[in-house]
Amino acid sequence: MIPTRGYAQQLDREDELAGYREAFYNTDPDLVYMDGNSLGRLPLRTIERMQHVIQDQWGTALIRSWGENWFDAATRVGDKIAPLVGASSGEVAVSDSTTVNLYKLVMAALMLRPERQKIVTDVFNFPSDLYVLQGCNHVLKDRYQIHLMPSKDDMTVDMETVFAEIDEDTALVTLSHVVFKSGFMYDAAAVTRYAHEKGALVLWDLSHSAGSVPVALDEWGADFAVGCTYKYLNGGPGAPAFLYVNKALQSSALSPIWGWFGDNKPFAFDLTYQPAENIRRFITGTTSVLSVLAMESGVELLAEVGMERLRKKSIALTSYMIELVDEVLTPYGFKVGTPRDPAMRGSHVSIRHPEGYRINRALIEEMNVIPDFREPDNLRLGLAPLYTSFEDVWQTVERIRIVMSEERYLHYPATRAAVT
């Protein structure tokens, strides 16, 4: 590997996805955006679509648009997400936030295994996921034991640990497919298969997977899944999340939150709830129409490219980043905090440094690089294959080198801001 800008530019010339960078809104060519794992860029198609939605559907058609375009938006867009996560038509719906969807599916799963008393997750799960588990357990009078699988290397969880933790008393196994700090990716098929052998249900959080790595929910035999749409799906800030329920469970699993959009005949206005016999039973209230339709363009763009091509470039980008960090940044005290085996990582790379927070501030304030920081020392670099270039990777490492060689990070306090 040659750590020069010219080499990075050569890789970009050879990149079959390079043209898709022009599909996104960008007013600052010098900006190096390394936070697509937190918020994706704005697709130009979204601007065009939303002008039509606001002017024609809302402005002109008014309430007629509910019957013409809006009522089935949650399931129509869900069906477009489905191929990106290896699901079938009718298994995915867009609704609420990831946290709310997780609550609905955790409660549904636990109601299907009332005789069991154990929930298995890990120390890497996103805190909100753990809060949901704790909240569900509180509502259910603390009848469950929540087991957090440990890590031996502060980066991964090995399969021996997984196999040792899941047993015949396990009601639910719920994990992030790609974990938010290190980018470690579980062998989801193996975890799901073993959990099912023990009679447990499995719920995957795909927030760092959907749109970045191939996902095969049906093939894995997954029972439930949730995921956000504002990261690699480029759905926009606060975009509604999605949920997946395997068709085999849709007639028996029941949402704990009942609302009229989940009713079998919502416009009959019956006074007694009758859940829909399909994925709609997990939709609760009125669809956030503008937000759901805004995400549709980003989803279509990913479907057009295909997950296999995206994954190929993701591996190339993350491998190049790790090689550059090893060669250029190791002398400054950086350590790679992401698995080196491509089969064990998603599309973001974590690099660790005791001064990670202040380095992050210096990059944003002085170097026109936007990464993000996660406690205690993780500088996360999100490599979104559709719009991240190899030169972006080179520029990121080069600008970090400048921050370190000139000690620019010392200009910033170690006190954390409210949002990092």
Residue 143 CB neighbour total at 10 angstroms: 11
Catalytic residue among 20, 33, 126, 282: 126
Which residue of the set 79, 122, 129, 205 is catalytic?
205
Decide if 141 is catalytic: no
End-to-end Cα, the chain, rounded Å: 33
Token pair for 49: 């679509």
Report yes or no: 33 and 372 within 8 Å, Cβ to Cβ: no
In the block, tokens 């955006």 appear at: 33
Strands 348-352 and 378-382: antiparallel
231 catalytic per annotation: yes
Token output for 362: 């210096």
Q: Which single residue is written with the structure tokens 């763009």?
A: 301
DSSP line for 1-70: ---SHHHHHHHHHT-TTGGGGGGB--S-TT-EE-BTTTSPPPBHHHHHHHHHIIIIIIIIITTHHIIIII
33 annotated active-site:
no
Q: Which of 280, 313, 345, 380 is the catalytic position?
A: 380
Q: How far apart are CA 11 and CA 3, in angstroms?
A: 12
Selecting among 49, 181, 231, 361, the annotated active-site residue is 231
Q: Beta 242-245 vs 224-227: how paired, if at all?
A: antiparallel
Distance CA 238, CA 210 (A): 16
3-state secondary structure of 111: helix
Instruction: Strand 145-149: give its sheet, edge to edge.
Output: 92-94, 242-245, 224-227, 201-205, 170-176, 118-122, 145-149
In whole angstroms, give the CA distance from residue 176 to residue 156.
12
- Hey, what amino acid is at 81? I
| Catalytic residue selected from 230, 242, 320, 357 | 230
Q: How far apart are CA 257 and CA 342, in angstroms?
A: 39
Task: Let me know if 126 is a catalytic residue.
Answer: yes
CA distance 234 to 316: 21
Please report which helix (H) or strand (E) contains residue 364, including its range.
helix 356-366
- DSSP H/E element including 85: none
d(CA 416, CA 361): 10
- 195: enclosing H helix or E strand: helix 188-197
Question: Would you please indicate which residues are annotated as catalytic (active-site) residues?
Answer: 126, 205, 230-231, 380
